[in-house]
Amino acid sequence: MAVVSVLIPPSRQPTPCPYLIHNLYTVSMSDGVGAETRGGSVEWHDTTELLDLAWLYGIRALQLSPIGDLKQGKFGSVQASEIVETAEFFRPHSVILTLGLRIDPFDEQAIGEYVERLSQAEVAALGFGTGLHHSDVPPALKKACAAAGLPLFEVPRKTPFALISKVVGGEHARLQAATANEILEAAEGLNRAAWNGGVDALVGRTHNAVGADVLIGDSSGRVISSAPAQPTERALKALRLAITDGGRSRAYRAENRMIIVQRMRALGGKYYVAVVDSPHALPPLSRSAIKHFVGLAEIVLRDPPALRSAETQLRGAALELFLSDPTTEPAVERLLDGAADADGMVVPVAIVAANKAASSRALTRLDEGLGLGQQPLAYMRTAPDGFVFLSRTPMTGEVASELFGSFATRLRVLSGRRSPWRDLTSDELTYLVDRARALPPGTVDEYVPRRLDWAEEETVHTALSRRYREVLAPLAEDDPALLEAVQAFLLHGCEFRAAAESLGVHRHTLKARIDRAEQRYGLPLDDPLGRAELLVLLSIDAPEG
């Protein structure tokens, strides 16, 4: 069965998401002939959108001062380096920031050689920090940069290099978030076309989306679908060449046009070939749409029921995108509204299995069961053994039996509170999975958070605060990370693996911290009553004084 990867680069990534590939794709090709691949697919590699130097200079908070007439250019990243002997560690299209610690302002030959190395490394610009080692930008450096055509700007002492990197990183994140929504909308449109109209609708939608002629043919040379309906001779020639060459995927230029040929996986002795004939270079969004189109076409031609899986992945991508950046976009809203009830409400349901394989099996059965009732599935995997999906009602034992059969006795199912999907947080869903993990296998339950109201009474709270100062305050003051480890250990039912994953450390590291807390501070972590007392103390706000 083929699987379509939804291509969305999120602005922030709190947890890995199995549905997302975090980079855009670009076709690798030369100016004259096609760049062919040996693995049977077009070669795609990561690309980063370049920024304008004029944009960087225009940020008032940085107070950068361009020197000379070279003020235009494009750059992709920022690197701070005092290396002058070599440029092999500099990335192309990068801005190099230096304080000139190893630059002699009067050695014109050495400065010229340094600038020449930067130019050969395709550095975009040089930022020179003044006010520390050099009071001004050396005239010899100005002269060398002007001669080499390398943009040069001054960085005042009050502007940390780290601030420049932070500003550039923030702009890249903003652009990636905008692109993420565009790609999500494009993928949603292609999925809808494939679902509702099959291969012809998919080909037509791709034709309109990327502004290129699109054709699908089989290994006999027969045209399966084309947009426009009457394929051009150029596209037919590309199909014939591909069949002659065994359907090998490649990208090349012909008659000042970009031709992309992509072979799909064979079924028996038969395979299909997609041809895209574009009159212009394809931007990142179009390249992502083509990648998605090929995956969908393969599904439609080989395994139509798998379109359900593609739609599920798209909703999962929308959920992950929303949780990483709650600023909702139209495409995200449409997808998550479809998973909610008429009032926009959802019930997050956590399902935990014994291991990753069992969890994947549970997810497959869930998708199949919901699909029979035409119910959409939006889910997020928070751990290898567990995931959360958005339901419209809490899951009951009867529903679990219908969905999972006898396999339900090996699962832990915990429904959370009903709330608008816009109020969901990543931490809330992760915590729900952790709570489900502590249940016995075969349990189907609802989790309703309850506060220790009795602990808020003045006399009780005073006593607890005094006890906190006796037991936990020394640990909180000496080693807050150790207190965090103890809290995670207790909240995860004293399971080292789950607690370590929540902290992002190895379980051996966590065990060493727990041992240190017991030995150095005398915490009763091996005593059930002692653990219960610590949990109560950790549930109150740390007392002052």
- How far apart (Å, rounded) are the C-alpha atoms in residues 326 and 423? 9
Which tens digits make up the pLDDT trace of 23-41? 333 233 333 333 333 334 4
> Average pLDDT in the 185-214 region?
85
Which of 197-201, 271-275, 528-532: highest mean pLDDT?
Answer: 271-275
pLDDT in tens, 278-335: 998 887 778 888 888 888 888 888 765 556 676 788 888 888 888 887 766 777 888 8
Query: Measuring CA to CA, which residue among 193, 227, 209 is closest to residue 286?
Result: 209
Write the CA distances from 432 to 152, 315, 378, integer angstroms: 53, 20, 16
Task: Please say if the pLDDT value at position 236 is more than 60.
Answer: yes
Mean pLDDT of 178-201: 79
Nearest to 124 by CA among 184, 35, 56: 56
Amino acid 141 reads: L
Q: For the stretch 307-328, what's the b/e string if a residue is b when 16 or more beta carbons lie within 10 angstroms of its beta carbon?
A: bbbbbbbbbbbbbbbbbbbeeb
- Phi, psi of 358, rounded to the nearest 5 degrees: -65, -35
Tokens 């009553």 locate to 529
- Lookup: tokens for 336: 């998550």
Q: How far apart are CA 534 and CA 457, in angstroms?
A: 19
Q: Which of 175, 123, 176 is nearest to 148 (CA)?
A: 123
CA max distance for the chain: 88
Strand partners, 79: 96
Which among 275, 298, 291, 254 has a CA at the least distance from the CA of 212?
275
pLDDT at position 256? 86
Residue 478: other Cβ atoms inside 10 A: 11
Of 56-70, 319-333, 356-370, 424-438, the range with the highest mean pLDDT is 56-70
| Structural domains present in the chain | 51-159 (3.40.1390), 195-301 (3.30.450.30), 306-449 (3.30.70), 456-538 (1.10.10.2840)
- Give the span between the Cα atoms of 465 and 150, in whole angstroms: 64
Two tokens, residue 216? 């699908």
At 226, list the tokens.
């084309």
Q: How confident is the model at residue 541 (pLDDT cuts 50, 70, 90)?
A: low
Q: What is the pLDDT of residue 42?
A: 45
With cut-offs at 50, 70 and 90, classify the pLDDT of residue 158: very high
pLDDT at 174: 85
pLDDT band at 408 (very low <50, low <70, confident <90, very high): very high
- What is the SS3 assignment for 99? coil
Rounded-to-integer distance, Cα 142 and Cα 68, Å: 8
Asked whether the predicted pLDDT for residue 515 surpasses 80, the reply is yes
Cis peptide before 420 (omega within 30 of 0): no
Cβ neighbours of 122 (radius 10 Å): 12
Amino acid found at 225: S
Helices (H), 415-524: 426-437, 458-471, 473-478, 480-491, 496-503, 507-521
- Which two structure tokens, joined as six digits, stand for 16? 């890995």
Mean pLDDT of the chain: 82
With beta carbons less than 8 A apart as the criterion, state whether 359 and 387 touch.
yes
User: Within its chain, how far is the Cα of 537 from the centroid?
Assistant: 37
Give me the phi and psi of 155, to 5 degrees please. Answer: -110, 115
Q: What is the DSSP letter of 283?
A: P
> Does residue 166 have a pLDDT over 80?
yes
Token look-up 């509170």 returns: 417
Measured CA to CA, the distance from residue 232 to residue 57 in angstroms comes to 48
Taking only Cα atoms into account, the Rg of the chain, rounded to an integer number of angstroms, comes to 29
Contact indicator for 135, 100 with CB cutoff of 8 Å = no
What letter would DSSP give residue 544?
A: P
Lowest mean pLDDT: which of 5-19, 63-77, 277-291, 472-486? 5-19
Report how far apart, in Å, the C-alpha atoms of 238 and of each of 29, 124, 346 are.
Answer: 16, 38, 49
What confidence tier does 339 reach under pLDDT thresholds 50, 70, 90?
A: confident
- Judging by DSSP bridges, how do beta strands 6-7 and 20-21 pair with one another? parallel
- Look at residues 328, 314, 5, 319 and name the one whose alpha carbon lies nearest to residue 188: 314
pLDDT at 277: 93
* 464 vs 536: CA distance, rounded Å: 8
pLDDT of residue 474: 86
Determine contact, residues 64/56, Cβ cutoff 8 Å: yes
Q: Going along 306-443, which residue ranges are E strands?
A: 345-352, 379-383, 386-391, 412-415, 419-420
pLDDT at position 39 is 37
SS3 37: coil
User: How far is the C-alpha of 307 from the C-alpha of 297, rounded, in Å?
Assistant: 10
Q: What is the structure's pLDDT at 3?
A: 29
d(CA 210, CA 262): 16
**Among candidates 230, 194, 193, which has minimal Cα distance to 215?**
230
Three-state helix/strand/coil letters over 190-249: HHHHHHHHHHHHHHHHHHHHHCCEEEEEECCCCEEEEECCCCCHHHHHHHHHHHHCCCCC
Each residue's pLDDT tens digit, 78-130: 999 999 998 888 999 999 999 999 999 999 999 999 999 999 999 999 999 99
pTM above 0.75, yes or no: no
Distance CA 490, CA 471 (A): 15
